[in-house]
Each structure stands twice: as C-alpha cells, then as structure tokens.
Amino acid sequence: MNVAEYISKRLLGAGVRYIYGIPGGPSIPYLEAFRNEGIEFILTSDERSAGFMADVTSRISGTPGACHATFGPGALNLLSGTGSAMLDRSPVIALTSEMADEWMDRTTQMNVNHQKLFGSLVKATVRLSEFNVRESLGHILEEALNEYPGPVHAGLPAGLAVKNLSVTGPELSERTDKATENEGTFRDAVRLLRKSEKPVLVAGLSASRLVRGGEFENMINSLHLPVLLTPMAKGIIDERNPFYGGVLFHALSDRLKELYSDCDLVIGFGYDQVEYNYESWLPDGVPVLHLDTVIRDLPEGNIVTPYAGKPSEWFRILSELTPPGRNKYKPNLKRIHDEMDSSFRSCSGRFGPVTVLKTLRESFPYETYFTADVGSHLHVLGQYWKTYGRKRLIMTNGWSSMGFGIPASIAAGLNNPGSKIVCITGDGGFLMSAGELLTARRLKIPVIIVVLSDGELNLIKIKQSWQGLEPNSTVLYEGDLFGSDSFLGIKVYRATSEKTLIKALQAASDATVPVIINAVIDSTDYDDLIVRQ
C-alpha cells in the first residue's frame, strides 16, 4: 500500500465522504486514491470556500470534514476556512501539498513553511512522511475530535503519495473518548445553585453541538428557567417556549438586560466564550456557574464557579435546582417578547430585511436548511428568526467571516440531498464568494440564494455612525447589483416588494438548479434594530 492509498482508507474510516478544494500537480495521486475509495473530491472556486464547506459538513454529518490546497497561495487561502473551523469548533482535516524534502530550505517558487503558516489556526500540524504517517495521521484525527473539536493540518510533501509504507507503526484510534478537565466539583456547583432564587440560564455553542434540543427544552420546562442563547445556540429551543428570552449580541438584545441584571446567578450551560465573553454583557457582581466541556479564559470581574464535564453531568447538576422564586420572570419575559415583536412589526411598512425574513420563514417548511452570511442582516435574523426548535440555521459567529453563506449552502445541499436549501446573504458577502455559484451549478444543487441588496457594507456604516462619523468607504456599487436576469448562467429574479418576493420564491422553489433572488431592500430596519455593543 502506498501513502496515498493509506491516507484515503484512514479518511474513509473516519467518516470522510467529501474533500473540498483545488488540486495541484503533487496531489494528483491522492485524487485517484480518493476516487478509488469512494471519496468524492469537490472542486471549488476558492480554497477559502473549501474550508467553509468542510466546516459545515462536519457540523451536519457529525464526522470530520476535509479540505485540500496546494503550495503557498493555495494553502494561505485555505487558512480562512480552517480559522472558521477553529473558532466555530468543527473537526476538519486540512491537507496541503508541500515542497519535497530537498527543496524545503531552498529559495523557490511558492515555498513557505506550512507548519508555521497553520500553527496558530489549527489544533495540530504535522509534515507527513512514509515513516510517520500511521502514527501522525492517527494523532491528528484524534486531536480534531477532542474537546474543543477543531481543525488539524497535514502537510503532504511532493512525491510522498506514491511511496510505499516502509515501516509498521501504531494506528491510533481517531475516536478515543478523552477525559475532560475536571475543574470545579459537583458539590461546589450544587451549593451555588441551592443559594439562588432568581437564576437565568444562557445556553451556548457547546450546548448546541452536544445536547439534543428536546432534552434541553424538557429540562427548562421542568425547572421553569428563563433561557437566553448565544447566536450559535439558535435551534436548541423553540422560540415559542414561554421561558425563552432571546439571543445575546443580536438585534434588540438591550431589551434582555433587565433579565440578567436582576438575577442572582447566571448559569452558563455549554457556554463557549468564543462567541461572546461574559464581561462583554454581564454586570459586575453577578455570580456565574460555568458548565462546559473544558475551562478556558474565564473573566475576573465576576465570581465564577467552573465545572468541566460532559453534558450528562451538566443535566445532573441542574437537577438539584429548586429555586423558590422560579416563576418570577414569566411576566417580564412576556413583556420583553411583546416589545420586541412590536419593534419588528414597526418595520412591516417597508421592504426591508424584516419583511424579507418574514416572507422566507412563511414560505418554507420548518425542516428547510437556511445558511446565513455575516453582516447587518445576521443581527436581525439571529433575533427575529424562528427555528421552532430545529437546528436548521447554519451561521458563523466565532470566526464571523463574510463569504460564508454560499459555500455553507453548497455543503448543506451535498450532505442533505433532496432537502430544500436557502442561503441568506448580504451583497457584500455574496461578492466574496460568488464564484462558488459555478460549483453549485456544476453539482446541480438547487440552492436558493437570497441576496439582501442595499449597495453598502451596512454594519460598518452603522458603526461609523455610532462614532459620529459620516459614511466612509462603505459603498459597494452604484445601480443594480446584477443589471441582468442571469449571472454566471444562473437565473436572477429581482424583488422590490413583498409581492414580487413571494412570486420569485414560488418560481425558485420549483427549480432543480441554483437560483438567485436579488431582494433590493430599504436598509432603514437596521438603524432601528441593531444594538450598539
């Protein structure tokens, strides 16, 4: 067995079915080995998109995603995708071609040290050889899955693929159940809970990754706990639940302040601070019970009791909670919901992002996968959107890269054949990854790309206004974004009202190929809804 064949078999055994990226000359033998093992190499327009697709594939499939790039500039482009996997906590294997040993220390075209390049954006990086591939590949596959999960990198020197494995080494399991750090004790956590009369629970990214929504919601209902979410935890609870409060950091989140300002304990349930640090929103003096799989970077301004363990242990700890004033929040929650609903309804008189999101939510079944790019629209979507307890909204928050939405929708379509896939993006994010529409077209993935077109980087403009500045360097284009009824061979529908949007969605829903809906919006909603952080 040569190295390319061995790597292909190990990746297949780890659950990899797709590898996204752009090949180079040295990777040709790997492509053949992948094909022989039944692993499909998905050619992308850009390596960054390949990393995003690998990230989303791992989220949906529950197995590691994989991506590939060639020397130098290809590897550099892939970095943004691995950064997404790193800060959004997705196990991803990033493969890059590297110079052969005799050229590593020479001055030559496209030659950079990939281990140094990837070192800060992956959990582990290794340069493979025929002598270390068995042990090293097993190690990085294991590391990708250990908490927090994330990307790992393997460099493939030119010429390595066809070399035979010359030694027999250990093959580490890629699914070892590594024990979590046990910081804090069960007794400390329970003691803190029993002192609390007005706790608030905040569920985060770790909970979203590891906890079933139904189990979480049953616990909330039995304990009568008010619940707030970080953005990536959307979908862990049905927003119609009377104990649901809202989403931190996103639109109108200032309305939630009275809940946590008046509480005597915040329970961070699977709360990963990569999304939103405690000190960014929590008043000094409010104690925190922090439950997560690992303990990192806790704030100093509050009394924090950490507990690192598995989700089953988090549930066991909270089963000890019997707060005497547990119904105190219900009137406040209802009033906060009513105030938020009123603010969103006030936007209904114009064709803005709220009207577009309302129409989209009403037009598709709950099981539809929606991917969301980064920008002002994400702040509105995060608070306004109803998931109905389904984990079908895919976004990035830890990494927060524009250009995420379209690649994410392609990965969702590949991994859910037959499902309806809708991408919601701003025009700025669209322009960063528009080339991937050819990937969707080639693969015949009928994703509906809804572009909220306002001609500007609106979130930057809003932040400039917070500083009392006039808009500067935020205009993307003049006139219509497309100026045509097709783009890269893909049909474009133009919507300028709720009525024309509904008509466009009806036409797009029957398509068997990608479709673009150019929703030309009034951006005034953002001024009224986005909260200064």
Strand order from edge to edge, sheet including 151-157: 40-43, 18-21, 65-69, 92-98, 151-157, 125-127
Architecture of domain 3-157: 3-Layer(aba) Sandwich (3.40)
Give pTM, 2 decimals: 0.94
The fold of the 186-331 domain, in CATH, is: Rossmann fold (3.40.50)
Whole-number Å distance between alpha carbons of 363 and 358: 9
Where in the sequence of the chain do the CATH 3.40.50.970 domains occur?
Answer: 3-157, 346-529
Whole-number Å distance between alpha carbons of 404 and 51: 10
Burial class for 416, CB neighbours closer than 10 Å (0-12, 13-18, 19+): middle
pLDDT of residue 184: 63
Is the pLDDT confidence value at 21 over 80? yes
Residues 138-147: tens digit of each pLDDT:
999 999 999 9
Residues 332-375: tens digit of each pLDDT:
899 999 999 999 999 999 999 999 999 999 999 999 999 999 99
Half-sphere exposure of residue 235: CA atoms within 13 angstroms, side-chain side: 23
CATH number of 346-529: 3.40.50.970
pLDDT of residue 331: 79
Whole-number Å distance between alpha carbons of 176 and 66: 19
Is the pLDDT confidence value at 181 over 50? no
Could you tell me if 158 and 26 are in contact, meaning their C-beta atoms sit under 8 angstroms apart? yes
Where in the sequence of the chain do the CATH 3.40.50.1220 domains occur?
Answer: 186-331
pLDDT of residue 325: 55
**Lowest-confidence range among 105-109, 303-307, 431-435, 448-452?**
105-109
More confident residue, 14 or 198: 14
